Structure 1
Amino acid sequence: MEKLQYPIGAFECPENITNKHVNKWIKDLELLPNRLSALVENLSAEQLNTAYRPEGWTVRQLVHHIADSHHHSYTRFKWALTENKPMIKAYEEKDWSELFDAKTAPINLSLDYLIALHAKLVYLLKGLSEKDLEKKFIHPESKVEIILKKNIGIYAWHSNHHLAHIQGLLDRNGW
Structure 2
Amino acid sequence: MATDLAFDPRFPVGDFHKPASISADDRLAAIATLRELPVKLREAVAGLDDAQLDTPYREGGWTVRQLVHHVADSHMTAFHRMRKALTEDWPAAAGYDEARFAELPDSALPIDASLAILEGLHTRWVAMLQGLSEEQWQRGITHSQNGPQSLDLLALLYQWHSLHHTAHVTNLRRTKGW
- Tell me if both proteins adopt one fold, taking TM over 0.5 as the criterion: yes
Tell me the equivalent position of 1:116.
120
Distance 1:136 1:174 in 2: 42
Q: Which residue among 144, 149, 161 is the counterpart of 1:146?
A: 149
Following superposition of structure 1 onto structure 2, how do residues 36-55 of structure 1 map, counting pairs within 5 Å? 36-55=41-60
Tell me the equivalent position of 1:33.
38
Which deviations, in whole Å up to 9, do the C-alpha atoms of 1:126-146 show, x marking residues without a partner? 00100000002101124x100
Q: Per-residue deviation at 1:41?
A: 2.1
Pair 1:167 & 2:170 matched: yes
Determine helix, strand or coil for the equivalent of 1:137: strand
Pair 1:135 & 2:175 matched: no
Pair 1:77 & 2:82 matched: yes
Structure 1-normalised TM-score?
0.96
Q: Per-residue deviation at 1:85?
A: 0.8
Determine helix, strand or coil for the equivalent of 1:69: helix
Tell me the equivalent position of 1:125.
129
Tell me the equivalent position of 1:19.
24
Superposed CA RMSD: 1.1
Distance 1:2 1:57 in 2: 18
Distance 1:95 1:26 in 2: 29
Q: What is the number of equivalent residue pairs in this alignment?
A: 173
Determine helix, strand or coil for the equivalent of 1:57: coil
Which deviations, in whole Å up to 9, do the C-alpha atoms of 1:6-49 show, x marking residues without a partner? 11111123212001000001000000000000111210000000
Q: Per-residue deviation at 1:149?
A: 0.2
Tell me the equivalent position of 2:62.
57
Structure 2-normalised TM-score?
0.94
Q: Which runs of 5+ in 2 are unaligned?
A: 1-5
Determine helix, strand or coil for the equivalent of 2:92: coil
Q: What is the letter of the counterpart of residue 119 of structure 1?
A: T
Q: What is the letter of the counterpart of residue 6 of structure 1?
A: F
Distance 1:20 1:100 in 2: 40
Distance 2:145 2:159 in 1: 22
Q: Per-residue deviation at 1:166?
A: 0.5
Pair 1:106 & 2:110 matched: yes
Distance 2:119 2:140 in 1: 26
Distance 2:13 2:25 in 1: 20
Distance 2:124 2:55 in 1: 31
Q: Per-residue deviation at 1:2?
A: 6.8
